[in-house]
Amino acid sequence: MLLKYSIRGAGYGEGPAIIEDVAADLGEGGLLVLAGPSGSGKTTTLLAITGVLNNLLYGWVEGESWIAGINPLSPEGFDEIPTRIGAVLQDPDKQLAMPTPYSEVAFTLENLGYPEHVIREKTVEMLERLGLRDKMYAHVEDLSGGEKRRLTFASAVVHDPPLLLLDEPSASMDPWGIREVRGFISDWRRRGKGVLVVEHKLRYFLWDGARIQVYRGGRVVRELEAPLSRGEIRFLEEIGVDAGPPRIRRVKPPTGSSRVLEARGLVIGYGENIVARDIDLYLDRGEAVAIIGRNGAGKTTLLKTLAGGLDPLDGEVLLLEEKTFSRQRIGRVFYVPQTPDYLFVAPSLEGEVREIAGKTGKPVDWITRYIPWYGEARKTSPYRLSHGQRRWLSIIIAYSYGAPVILLDEPSSGLDLRLFRRLAGLVGKLRGEGVSFLISTHDPRVVGEMCSRAYILDRGRLREIDRYRAVELLEEEAGLSLEEA
């Protein structure tokens, strides 16, 4: 058995148990998926069974865990655990520690005491296998999102461990990247290795025979095996796990509304480097429109140009039917970044709301009316709010500034299905109040459930695409199909 654990309880510091009575085992070539809504204890389980929680994070674990014959809960076992596992975390930017792909992969082997000639040989071979050899000495910041994700895999498995642990591998990935992750997992299992995945986007990991443990409130509430029945999918979706195919809802387009934003012949880029050209797009009052495309296609550059953060290289942008310079759009076309933390300026939610009130002249009560969880979280630092709450707050900040257009960059990234639906509800409510949204996304649910139209940015050109086709394309590129899912 590669992995066998039975945890009676585990928590942080001297705090209460975050997970209770969780147990599982995993053999060679097996796949175990821990699924559940955000905050249900999936990542804590991963940290507990690898010994990170009690050996590194000053937490506590009661119970047993064995990984390939080692007990990682003991200090001696924890020292040996890197030889038995490869771990890939959610965000490549938080995982990559070295400046170049070569040094990143070699770092693992150096730590484990491999001789220098073996380090060189294995590092080059692994980079070659994952298509990164040509960029061996490039700075990791010059890699695309997909390349960074591949590099995290390379550095996690270069020493050929028997067990691979993946924490939300689909997060921050476009469908093209998700297909690569899926291919990597299949390949790894074919080689007789075990794979444990923590995910709330379960539908990407539903290979026949995959075992699924469903978490809720720190406990395993159900154990399932793929393929799932309709009833099981419904149950999972109700608790916030993305298990079924994306829906395409009828999103009412605004009626008789005026044009709020329009780009004509826009050329975007940085200096000499043109990212996309001849962009024509429009957005009506109260409308939500999606922009899809690969990581690196230029979606964020387009949003920042429309928001006035970057000057267009050519073309014009009209706001409320008037031609504008970039600086005139700042704050009126409000850009909400993929990392909402960039927007916060105060050490507490209460302070944040006061800052908004001070800058916008809106009463504090007016602002807090849009934050239903304000009372329980007002003393909390905005950086310590849950992912969904931070996303929520960032949209309310934009709304409070009275911007007629809000640009959302990957708003569903890291959100479970339940939080996504709440966010979609908020966007729907604000649309009803006349705010327009332009949303850059990889998520077929955003296109299918939040937006009434969609554009695709591909190979430097933007074109309008049928919403159904956009959802289908995103599914196909991830290696699924709407029918199959």
Q: How far is the CB of 174 from other proteins (least distance, A)?
A: 19
Stretch that binds other proteins, among 24-32, 97-105, 258-266, 444-452 (CB under 8 A): 97-105
User: Is residue 413 involved in binding other proteins (CB under 8 A)?
Assistant: no
Residue 108 found at the interface with other proteins (CB under 8 A): yes
Of the residues 76, 141, 376, 433, which one makes contact with other proteins according to CB under 8 A:
141
Q: Report 6-65 residues binding other proteins (CB under 8 A).
A: 47, 50, 52, 56-57
**According to the binding rule CB under 8 A, does residue 372 interact with other proteins?**
no
347 contacts other proteins (rule: CB under 8 A): yes
d(CA 334, CA 398): 6
Strand pairing class (259-270; 461-465): unpaired
CA distance 407 to 290: 10
* Contact of 418 with 384, CB cutoff 8 Å: no
- Measured CA to CA in angstroms, residue 303 lies from 277, 300, 336, 441, 478 at distances of 14, 5, 9, 11, 24
- The reply to whether 307 sits near other proteins by the rule CB under 8 A is yes
Q: Cβ neighbours of residue 238 under 8 Å, at least 6 residues apart?
A: none
The pattern of x and - marking residues 374 through 403 that bind other proteins according to CB under 8 A reads -------x-x-------------x---x--
Q: How far is the CB of 167 from other proteins (least distance, A)?
A: 10
Neighbours of 484 (CB within 10 A): 11
Could you tell me which residues are beta bridge partners of residue 196? 32, 165
Question: In this complex, which beta carbon is closest to other proteins, that of residue 184 or of residue 245?
Answer: 184
**Which residue from 28, 311, 345, 461 is in contact with other proteins, where contact means CB under 8 A?**
345
With respect to other proteins, which residue has the nearer C-beta, 325 or 342? 342
Please identify, using beta-carbon distances, which residue of 259 and 304 lies nearer to other proteins: 304
8-state DSSP, 204: G
Among 49, 43, 39, 52, residue whose Cα is nearest residue 91: 43
The bridge status of strand 259-270 relative to strand 219-225 is: unpaired
SS3 130: coil
Q: For residues 325 and 383, which CB has a smaller minimum distance to other proteins in the complex?
A: 383
Identify the residue whose tokens are 């990957």. 410
Q: Are residues 331 and 292 in contact, defined by beta-carbon separation less than 8 angstroms?
A: no
Q: According to CB under 8 A, which residues from 152 to 181 bind other proteins?
A: 155-156
**Smallest Cα–Cα separation from 18: which of 180, 217, 175, 227?**
217
Upstream peptide bond of 363 is cis (omega within 30 degrees of 0): no
Which of 30, 337, 388, 414: binder of other proteins (CB under 8 A)? 337
Q: Which stretch binds other proteins (CB under 8 A): 89-97, 204-212, 225-233, 245-253?
A: 89-97
Binding stretches for other proteins (CB under 8 A): 47, 50, 52, 56-57, 79-83, 85, 87, 89, 91, 93-100, 102-103, 107-108, 110-113, 116, 137, 139-141, 155-156, 304, 307, 309, 330-331, 334-335, 337, 339, 341-347, 355, 359, 381, 383, 397, 401
